[in-house]
Amino acid sequence: MTEAPSRGFPEAEFAARTDRAQAGMAALGLDGLLLMTEAEVRYFSGFHTLFWQSPTRPWFVFVPSTGKPIAIIPEIGAELMRSTWLDDIRTWSAPCPEDDGLSLLTELLAPLAQAGKSIGVMKGHETALRMPLGDYEKLTERLPGLSIADATGLVRGLRMIKSEREIEKIAHICTVGSRTFAKVPELAHQGQPLEDLFRAFRREGLAQGADDVPYLVGGADQGGYRDVISPPSRRPLAQGDILMLDTGAVWDGYYCDFDRNFAIGSADDKSRRAYDVLWRATEAGIKNARVGVTCQQLFQSMQSVIAQLDDQGGDVGRLGHGLGMQLTEWPSHAAFDQTVIEENMVLTLEPSLSYGDGRIMVHEENIVVRKDGAQLLSERAPQDLPVI
């Protein structure tokens, strides 16, 4: 098992995040941020639990214009929230369909509403409203004086740039992921149902030190796979299959997200050619993922290599994305994304292509962008399609 960094963050990190948020809020004329999604609640409070998998209860953290964030949460989370740096923790006995935190939110926000202030809520791309829409509508009806602006840009700007401690956690889980992939030649064999290989891969990831391997998708088929988001079938691996595994493993609440391709027994020429093109597209990505470059430019640098082969099928919409507390985060390496790459962004490079008969291939590596260029966090895939 790989030596792990220390868990959690010092209080100063949460204070710094809050300071930066409050500076951004002031610039936008916002007197508060109302957050309710797992990553955002954790980002500002340190509240870390798998209990989010239960959809029953809403959770809220409010970042005021000055001072520490305020938690408004179900009583079941009180003990854990008291272990964070927050002081003001308001709880109710949840679930309570008639009043799941609404009275507490109303009490908190009423003075701002009366003063005609604005708060921010995340309403933009890649977000969801993690409270009942009916309750959100009730809240806005109760507080007619309150302006609610979209704070996605503000939070996105903060979360896209990782701290050294965040990078350390992601680097660690990438190392665990790389060591797990290194074992695939031992774990996989002809005649093995793909479902069993998935199970073996997950067990290996845990043995290598992952807290969990929540995301594992892939495919295997003769001369290439056709789908990259399906659960595994019972189909046995066969000579001539191209196998892909793509994993999001987790350590201390931070993800890796990369994949590896393998040929079973032997590799066909078309798949080897596709692999080579994608390997070189990834090289172009690594070279071009630099401070000051836009995501659009990074996309184009990879796309120009892919264009040597791609028949334009299998549209996955982008060639990589941000990575951190979520499996996929802003930005997107896509024609639409003008985000300028900054130091300490953690990114995936994920070129993909289609090469006839509906076959697709995807490659993926994880990097952190430093002053002098991209630093690989995943161990670089071999230059030639490995045969096992």
Confirm or reject binding of residue 133 to its own copies (CB under 8 A). Answer: yes
The least distance separating its own copies from the CB of residue 330, rounded to whole angstroms, comes to 9
Half-sphere exposure of 381 (CA within 13 A, CB side): 31
- d(CA 322, CA 369) in angstroms, rounded, equals 11
Decide whether 350 or 365 has the Cβ nearer to its own copies.
350
Buried b (16+ CB within 10 A) or exposed e, 110-148: eebbeeebbbbbbeeeebeebbeeebbeebeeebeebeb
Nearest distance from C-beta of residue 97 to its own copies, angstroms = 4
CA 200, 203, 207, 209 torsion: positive or negative? positive
Q: Which is nearer to its own copies, 230 or 308 (CB)?
A: 230
Contact 251, 208 (CB under 8 A): no
Q: Is 130 in the site for its own copies (CB under 8 A)?
A: yes
Please report, as residue ranges, which positions from 344 to 363 form the binding site for its own copies (by CB under 8 A).
358
**Considering the complex, what minimum distance in angstroms separates the CB of residue 387 from its own copies?**
26
Query: Under the criterion CB under 8 A, does residue 50 sit at the interface with its own copies?
Result: yes
The answer to whether residue 93 forms part of the interface with its own copies (CB under 8 A) is yes
124: phi then psi, degrees, rounded to nearest 5:
-100, -165
Comparison of 104 and 213: residue with beta carbon closer to its own copies:
213
Q: How far apart are CA 346 and CA 154, in angstroms?
A: 18
Minimum distance, C-beta of residue 243 to its own copies, in the bound complex (Å): 17
DSSP 124: S
Per CB under 8 A, 334 contacts its own copies = yes
Size of site (CB under 8 A) for its own copies: 75
Interface with its own copies (CB under 8 A), residue from 89, 158, 161, 327: 327
Interface with its own copies in residues 250-309 (CB under 8 A): none
Which of 42, 57, 156, 260 contacts its own copies by CB under 8 A? Answer: 57
Nearest approach in angstroms of CB 274 to its own copies is 17
Q: For residue 66, give the nearest of 30, 37, 42 by alpha carbon.
A: 30
Residue 376 makes contact with its own copies by CB under 8 A: no
Q: List the one residue from 13, 20, 28, 49 that touches its own copies (CB under 8 A).
A: 49
Query: If binding is defined by CB under 8 A, does position 131 make contact with its own copies?
Result: yes
Residue with tokens 């798998």, as numbered in its chain: 50
- Please identify, among the stretches 22-30, 70-78, 165-173, 301-309, the one whose residues bind its own copies according to the rule CB under 8 A: 70-78
**For its own copies, which residue of 172, 321, 359, 363 counts as binding (CB under 8 A)?**
321
Q: Does 340 bind its own copies (CB under 8 A)?
A: no
Task: Tell me the closest approach of the beta carbon of residue 284 to its own copies, in angstroms.
Answer: 22
> Does 199 help bind its own copies (rule: CB under 8 A)?
yes
User: What is the spatial distance between Cα 188 and Cα 183, in angstroms, rounded to a whole number?
Assistant: 9
85 binds its own copies (CB under 8 A): no
Which of helix, strand or coil describes residue 290?
A: coil
Is residue 120 involved in binding its own copies (CB under 8 A)?
A: no
Binding to its own copies (CB under 8 A) within 158-197 occurs at 195
The set of long-range contacts for 22-29, using a CB threshold of 8 Å and a minimum separation of 24, is 22/63, 22/65, 22/66, 24/154, 24/157, 24/158, 25/63, 25/65, 25/120, 25/151, 25/154, 26/65, 28/120, 28/149, 28/151, 28/154, 29/118
Cis peptide before 232 (omega within 30 of 0): no
Judged by CB under 8 A, the chain residues 202 through 261 that form the site for its own copies are 202-203, 206-207, 211-217, 226-231, 234, 248
Residue nearer to its own copies on the CB measure, 158 or 228: 228
Cα–Cα distance, 251 to 170 (Å, whole number): 8
Part of the chain binding its own copies (CB under 8 A), chosen from 62-70, 108-116, 320-328, 371-379:
320-328
317 binds its own copies, rule: CB under 8 A:
yes
Instruction: Please select the residue that binds its own copies; options are 17, 68, 179, 318, rule is CB under 8 A.
Output: 318
Q: 3-state DSSP call for residue 195?
A: helix
- Residue among 113, 112, 91, 115 nearest 103 (CA): 91
Residue with smaller CB distance to its own copies, 54 or 239: 54
